């Protein structure tokens, strides 16, 4: 029941985000005097509507988004009443059209930033000092957490019957900091990995610090198969293992006061902006992995997800009482919606903004050259490109939805 509740809540959060995006367009258009005839949540048959002033508001049967109708978005619109011609959107200055088209994006970014600021105060944000990569983790002190077993083959899996016990369990404890192996000092986790792997399997003297006191223990290092550090070729070799994991002595989340939360929000927003752009740039190379996950391969956690996958993750978060994950998913969703809609391609908002400024720049150049103003861009000539974007986007959406149904990404074991 909790899982289903989470799915519904996150689907509702998506619907609210998209609807507020459209409200951003509507409100700015009305503010500048453009005529907005319709604002609906959802698509398909109308369930309920009412008219206030010149705008009809309502709900439609398919809750997969929303839309608003601004009169005369392009000069080619043929449904503009002659009486409304002066209020057609395309007749307004370029900066006003830019504000209107960017209004939805601004709403999504505002939702993400305000939610981040609130999360920084009441829930906490990821600790910027917590190692986010393997390279950063290797610089941490070699404070250990005893593993339940040693996996002999080179595989990332849970312990299974028959796996040998962790050698460290013979004499070490969680929280011990390893300082030397057979007299060879280690300053951090990375050096400990190197020294352990370079030590022959079998008896070894492990020096450590426990509760401020130094100590040593005689352990029998296990013989395992591992790939060399920083080597992703898949080749393995026989090395030693201590049977421990890294126990990072830093909180994963940090809360802030109202003022400090502003700076933390700004820093996190900058990191999210970079991560979002990088993730969008990697989408084409992830398509083969998405297809493979549909045909039986393991789902790569780094592959894109659809609204179906995001809602399922929201359900998992609620089911496991991990509301911080739910909130961060909501923030990431709005940041992605904002960034995606800024792409300079029709029918995205960024495409309309790009065309508006292209027209302005072209008119300026022609005026300096003493040539007649070439006028507005003919949107009909751009329709083949627009249809191509829609077709590619539709195919990609179908691919991600199928993968999220057949082989979804999961964060918890259910």
pLDDT in tens for each of the 414 residues of the chain? 888 999 999 999 999 999 999 999 999 999 999 999 999 998 889 999 999 999 999 999 888 788 999 999 988 888 888 888 999 999 999 999 999 999 999 999 999 999 999 999 999 998 888 887 888 889 999 999 999 999 999 887 888 898 999 999 989 999 999 999 999 999 999 999 999 999 999 999 999 999 999 999 999 999 999 988 876 666 889 999 999 999 988 888 899 999 999 999 999 999 889 888 888 888 888 899 889 889 888 888 888 998 889 999 999 999 998 899 999 999 999 999 999 999 999 999 999 999 999 999 999 999 999 999 888 898 989 999 999 999 999 999 999 999 999 999 888 765
- Read off the pTM: 0.81
Closest C-alpha among 280, 272, 285 to residue 342: 280
Q: For residue 285, indicate whether it is catalytic.
A: no
Separation of alpha carbons 200 and 222, rounded Å: 9
Instruction: Name the residue with tokens 């698509």.
Output: 43
**Phi first, then psi: what are they for 119, rounded to 5°?**
-65, -40
User: What residues pair up with 202 in beta bridges, in sequence order?
Assistant: 221
Q: How far is CA 401 from the centre of its chain?
A: 16
Q: Which CATH architecture has domain 134-246?
A: Roll (2.30)
Cα–Cα distance measured from residue 81 to residue 208, given in angstroms and rounded to the nearest whole number: 82
CATH 2.30.42.10 in the chain, residues?
A: 134-246
Structure tokens at 335: 């940041």
Question: Measuring CA to CA, which residue among 70, 92, 102 is closest to residue 359?
Answer: 92
């Amino acid at each position: 029941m909790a899982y289903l509740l989470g799915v519904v809540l996150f689907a509702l959060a998506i619907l609210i985000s998209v609807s507020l995006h459209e409200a951003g367009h509507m409100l700015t258009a009305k503010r500048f005097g453009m005529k907005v005839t319709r604002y609906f949540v959802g698509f398909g048959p109308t369930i309920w509507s009412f008219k206030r002033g010149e705008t009809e508001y309502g709900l439609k049967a398919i809750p997969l988004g929303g839309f608003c109708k601004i009169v005369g978005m392009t000069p080619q619109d043929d449904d503009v009443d002659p009486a409304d011609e002066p209020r057609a959107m395309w007749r307004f200055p370029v900066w006003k059209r830019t504000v209107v088209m960017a209004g939805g994006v601004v709403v999504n970014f505002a939702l993400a930033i305000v939610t981040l600021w609130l999360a920084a105060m009441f829930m906490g944000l990821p600790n910027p000092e917590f190692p986010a990569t393997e390279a950063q983790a290797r610089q941490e002190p070699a404070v250990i957490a005893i593993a339940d077993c040693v996996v002999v083959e080179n595989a990332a899996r849970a312990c299974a019957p028959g796996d040998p016990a962790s050698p460290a369990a013979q004499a070490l404890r969680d929280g011990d900091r390893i300082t030397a192996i057979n007299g060879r000092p280690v300053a951090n986790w990375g050096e400990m990995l190197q020294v352990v792997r370079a030590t022959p399997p079998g008896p070894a003297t492990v020096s450590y610090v426990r509760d401020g006191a130094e100590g040593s223990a005689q352990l029998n290092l296990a013989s395992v198969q591992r790939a060399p550090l920083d080597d992703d070729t898949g080749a393995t070799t026989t090395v030693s293992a201590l049977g421990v994991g890294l126990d990072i002595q830093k909180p994963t989340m940090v809360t802030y006061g109202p003022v400090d939360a502003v700076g933390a929000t700004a820093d996190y927003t900058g990191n999210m902006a970079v991560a979002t752009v990088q993730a969008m740039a990697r989408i084409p190379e992830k398509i083969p992995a998405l297809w493979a996950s549909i045909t039986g391969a393991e789902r790569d956690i780094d592959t894109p997800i659809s609204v179906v996958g995001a809602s399922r993750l929201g359900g998992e978060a609620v089911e496991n009482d991990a509301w911080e994950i739910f909130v961060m998913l909501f923030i990431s969703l709005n940041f992605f919606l904002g960034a995606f809609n800024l792409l300079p391609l029709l029918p995205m908002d960024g495409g309309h903004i790009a065309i508006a400024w292209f027209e302005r720049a072209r008119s300026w150049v022609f005026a300096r050259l003493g040539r007649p103003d070439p006028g507005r861009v003919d949107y009909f000539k751009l329709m083949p490109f627009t249809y191509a974007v829609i077709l590619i986007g539709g195919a990609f959406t179908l691919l991600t939805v199928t993968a999220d149904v057949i082989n979804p990404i999961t964060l918890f074991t259910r």
